[in-house]
Structure 1
């Protein structure tokens, strides 16, 4: 079973990520479906408590704004290391849409990004399969303090004294 980092711990990943070109009926297990599949099948899927949605880097979180309260997990795909739109999407989900569930980073997720992703609101990370997840876990504590406000600490350094 694959593993992921969730809430600063390495855990078993029970969620199956459905590919963007998937057609047919979903398995009964916990699944994370692409936004297009969710949009087409929203009425049928809304009654299931084990269905999450994943957004690609070009899909704004406003597309699921009315659904965030019912989604147990929202995954944001990073198609490549240099694509930073997902950071903004996580922050929007936390601050504008008040999403309190799991925000998971998927795709090209590397240790160097984890600290900053956490600051933007991610709490789960599916690290690339070719990387050591134990080593990546250390990325969450690369820095002991930050000056700016973030989702993990909304008070900037100068106000914390």
Structure 2
């Protein structure tokens, strides 16, 4: 099983399987007795069947809008956001919107082309678990999650900018 890194730097086995989007004309193949992440639009299409299932989560592609889950985020045990390429920053916005606007409190995971130098920035946007790209060293993840001792801006991990924190 691949590893997943938690926001505190611990490494654990990843029990969740990311189910790819089926080819046109085919149905989705969800493995039995295994927690699975399915595309968000397919979860919504089968909402009556999937809602309330603690072994079914969703994944967003970078072009998906988090508004799709408005009012339904509390029903999901895990939401993953796919970063198809490291230069595609739309996943950061999806993470912040899920946490701040839609008040998602469950596990928010970054998947796809996730690199070590992105981890602290993803953490600041609300992600609390990370599935690194397979060629990256998970043992270095804890150091990368807290590379900067102070941050200037407010984000999901601190609601005040540095100048306000220093003043108080």
Task: Please say whether Structure 1 and Structure 2 have the same fold, judged by a TM-score greater than 0.5.
Answer: yes
CA contact (8 A) 1:110 1:136 kept: no
Query: For residue 2 of structure 1, what is the aligned residue in structure 2?
Result: 2
Please state if 1:124 is matched with 2:125.
no
Measured after TM superposition, the shift of residue 26 of structure 1 is: 4.3
Query: For residue 136 of structure 1, what is the aligned residue in structure 2?
Result: 141
Alignment of 1:61-76 (within 5 A): 61-76=66-81
Measured after TM superposition, the shift of residue 151 of structure 1 is: 0.3
Measured after TM superposition, the shift of residue 113 of structure 1 is: 0.4
Please state if 1:18 is matched with 2:23.
no
Distance 2:30 2:57 in 1: 15
Distance 1:95 1:48 in 2: 24
* Unmatched segments (≥5 aa) in structure 2: none
CA spacing shift, 1:53–1:41, aligned 2, 3 Å:
same
Alignment of 1:4-153 (within 5 A): 4-8=4-8, 9-21=10-22, 23-153=28-158
* Unmatched segments (≥5 aa) in structure 1: none
